[in-house]
Amino acid sequence: MGEISLNINGKVEKHDVGDNTLLVDFIRENAGLTGTHVGCDTSQCGACVVHIDGVSVKACTMLAAQAQGSEITTIEGIGTSDALHPMQEAFKENHGLQCGFCTPGMVMSAIELVSKNKNASEKDIRDGLEGNICRCTGYHNIVKSVKAGAEKMGG
């Protein structure tokens, strides 16, 4: 066991955990931020996507220790229910979610996608969401949401 200190959503989280602690477990169990989810064991579903220094990563495929010294942003850190992030707003307006389980990861991936490609086409969006699996929506409204989110974000 050792102390791991991470900056999550601007707050320092210092906890005594094993070196084998995954980033996603640190976020969920130690920092208590349960918006980041776990949907698979093989780094494919993307329910656990967070940003590390603005870059999207799968928090299930990283040790917490590897994220030391970085700024981590989770779904809880991008907007509040009173002031949604434009991408969150776009998902709400376009019915881009159903059960909500894949949604945090989907939104985090979408934000990075749009920040890299402001004029993403439908194909760009579909390709760019390769790392996020949704079982409910058939992606139709997610694609629509990301497009609308891009416009809101000033694309």
Partner 1 sequence: MYSTKYMKPNSTSEALDAINSLGEGKFLAGGMTLIPTLKQRLANPDGLVDISGCDLDSIADEGETIKIGAMSRHVSVAESAVVKKAIPALAKLAEGIGDRQVRNRGTLGGSVANNDPSACYPSAVLALKANVHTNSRSIAADDFFTGMFETALEEDEIIESISFLKPTKANYVKFPNPASRYAMVGVFVAQFGDEVRVAVTGAGEGGVFRHQEMESVLSSNFSADSLSSVNIVSDGLISDLHASAEYRANLIKEMTKRAVV
Partner 2 sequence: MSEGIGASVQRKEDKKFLTGKGRYTDDINRAGQVYAHFVRSDIAHANIKSINTKVAAEASGVVAVYTGEDIDVGGPICGWVVPNRDGSATHEPPHPLLAKGKVRFVGDAVAVVIAESLQEAKSASELVEVDYDELPAVVNLETASSGAEIHEGMAENRYFDWELGDEEATDNALNSASRVVKLTVRNNRLVPNPMEPRSALAEYDELNDSYTLYTTSQSPHLTRLVLAAFMFQIPESKIRVVAPDVGGGFGAKIYVYVEEAVCTWASKKIKRPIKWTADRTQAFLTDAHGRDHINNIQLALDSNNKITGLRVDTLANLGGYLSAFAVAVPTYLHGTLLSGLYDIPAIYTNVKGYATTTTPVDAYRGAGRPEATYLLERVMDQAAREVGMDQAEFRRLNFIPKDAFPYQTAVALQYDIGDYEPALDKAMEMIDYKNFENRRSEASKRGKYRGIGVSSYIEACGIAPSAVAGALGGRVGGWESASVRVDPTGTITVTTGAHSHGQGHATTFAQIVTERLGVPNSSVELVHGDSDRSPFGMGTYGSRSLAVGGVAISKAIDKIVEKSKKIAAHLMEASADDVEFKDGKFTVAGTDKETAFGDVALAAYVPHNYPLETLEPGLEETAFYDPMNFTYPAGTHIAEVEVDPATGVVEIVDWAACDDFGNLINPMIVEGQVHGGIAQGIGQALLENAHYDENGQLLTASYMDYCMPRADDLPSFKVGYTNTPCTHNDLGVKGCGEAGAIASPPALINAIINALSPLGVTDMSMPATPQKVWKAIQDSQSVAAE
Q: Which of 29, 71, 89, 112 binds partner 1 (CB under 8 A)?
A: 112
Residue 103 binds which of partner 1, partner 2, none (CB < 5-8 A, kind-dependent): partner 2
Q: Which of 102, 107, 113, 143 binds partner 1 (CB under 8 A)?
A: 113
How far is residue 18's CA from residue 35's CA, in Å, rounded to a whole number?
Answer: 22
The reply on whether position 16 binds partner 1 by CB under 8 A is no
Buried-state track 106-122, b at ≥16 Cβ within 10 A, e below 16: bbbbbbbbbeeeeebee
Q: For tokens 């194909």, what's the residue?
A: 123
Report the site for partner 1 in 26-45 (rule: CB under 8 A).
41-44
Residue 147 binds which of partner 2, partner 1, none (CB < 5-8 A, kind-dependent): none
Residue among 46 and 104 whose Cβ is closer to partner 1: 46
Token code pair at residue 125: 């969006």
Helix or strand or coil: residue 7? strand
How far is residue 99's CA from residue 106's CA, in Å, rounded to a whole number?
Answer: 13
Residues that bind partner 1 (CB under 8 A): 18-20, 22, 41-44, 46, 49, 55-58, 60-63, 65-66, 109, 112-113, 128, 130-132
